């Protein structure tokens, strides 16, 4: 069971003619925040169109929400806003293709399986889309200064030319004037 669940069968998906609006309540957002190691998720919702072709289910729409992440440098709270497109195709297990190596087209990239004759959960797909849309390296406004004070070099300083500049600086300090 997931923290944010709205399971459907293929038959229910076929009957879904209007857009599906999914909104996580406070308890669901709190549970998802714990799962995704976030201080908070303040809002999570999605508007999804469902199209069924045989046993293939296509979900399209948009996931949006607000969360609080922790800065990777300081640990301070960093607000995050998500607006992410959702476009995924679900196929019954065993119909996703063979295991031999093939080249995937863009239409094949977002194909997932659901148990044949079973249920799928659009809310879980929304939760995963939300989490994947978050910045993997959130930084607070003072992260750069914090890192510099701890002696962490920026990318420019740490690169090849940065290393040479550091060496030149150390050498110039060693030579008497």
With cut-offs at 50, 70 and 90, classify the pLDDT of residue 105.
low
Tell me the per-residue pLDDT of 44-93, one tens digit each, with 9 for 90 and over: 999 999 999 999 999 999 999 999 999 998 999 999 999 999 999 999 98
Task: Give SS3 for 67.
Answer: strand
For residue 119, is pLDDT > 80? yes
For residue 97, is pLDDT > 60? no
Q: Where are the alpha helices (DSSP H) in the chain?
A: 10-15, 26-35, 122-133, 143-149, 155-158, 160-174
> Are residues 150 and 99 both part of a single domain?
no
Q: What does the pLDDT read at residue 62? A: 98
Q: What does the pLDDT read at residue 102? A: 46
Locate tokens 């995937």: which residue?
104
Mean pLDDT of 94-106: 54
Phi and psi angles of residue 138, each rounded to the nearest 5 degrees, phi first: -65, 140
- Give how many domains the chain has, as a whole number: 2
- The maximal CA–CA distance of the chain, rounded, in angstroms, is 84
> Are residues 160 and 135 both part of a single domain?
no
Q: What does the pLDDT read at residue 32? A: 97
For residue 16, is pLDDT > 60? yes
Please give the residue that has the higher pLDDT: either 9 or 173: 9
Tell me the per-residue pLDDT of 128-166, one tens digit each, with 9 for 90 and over: 999 999 999 999 998 888 888 877 777 666 666 655 666
> Are residues 56 and 80 both part of a single domain?
yes
Residue at 3 is within a domain: no
Residue at 2 is within a domain: no
Per-residue 3-state assignment (H helix, E strand, C coil) for 114-145: ECCCCEECHHHHHHHHHHHHCCCCCCCCCHHH
8 A C-beta contact, residue 44 and residue 17: no
- Residue (of 121, 126, 117) closest to 95 by Cα position: 117
Report d(CA 163, CA 143) in Å as an integer: 22
The domain in which residue 19 lies consists of 8-141
For residue 24, is pLDDT > 90? yes
> Are residues 149 and 86 both part of a single domain?
no
8 A C-beta contact, residue 66 and residue 40: no
For residue 106, is pLDDT > 80? no
> Are residues 134 and 147 both part of a single domain?
no
Residue at 85 is within a domain: yes
For residue 98, is pLDDT > 60? no
Retrieve residue 112's tokens: 């997932």
Please give the residue that has the higher pLDDT: either 100 or 173: 173
């Amino acid at each position: 069971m997931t923290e944010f669940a709205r399971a459907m069968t293929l038959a229910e998906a076929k009957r879904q003619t209007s857009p599906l609006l999914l909104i996580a309540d406070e308890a669901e957002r709190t549970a998802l925040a714990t799962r995704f190691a976030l201080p908070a998720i303040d809002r999570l919702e999605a508007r999804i169109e469902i199209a069924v072709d045989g046993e293939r289910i296509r979900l399209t729409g948009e996931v949006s929400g607000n969360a609080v992440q922790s800065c990777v440098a300081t640990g301070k709270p960093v607000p995050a806003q998500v607006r992410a497109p959702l476009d995924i195709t679900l196929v019954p297990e065993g119909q996703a293709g063979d295991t031999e190596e093939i080249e995937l087209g863009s239409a094949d990239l977002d194909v997932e399986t659901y148990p044949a004759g079973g249920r799928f959960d659009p809310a879980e797909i929304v939760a995963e889309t939300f989490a994947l849309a978050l910045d993997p390296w959130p930084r607070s406004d003072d992260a750069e200064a914090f890192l510099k004070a701890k002696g962490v070099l920026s990318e420019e300083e740490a690169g090849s030319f940065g290393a040479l500049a550091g060496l030149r600086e150390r050498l110039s300090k060693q030579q008497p004037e």
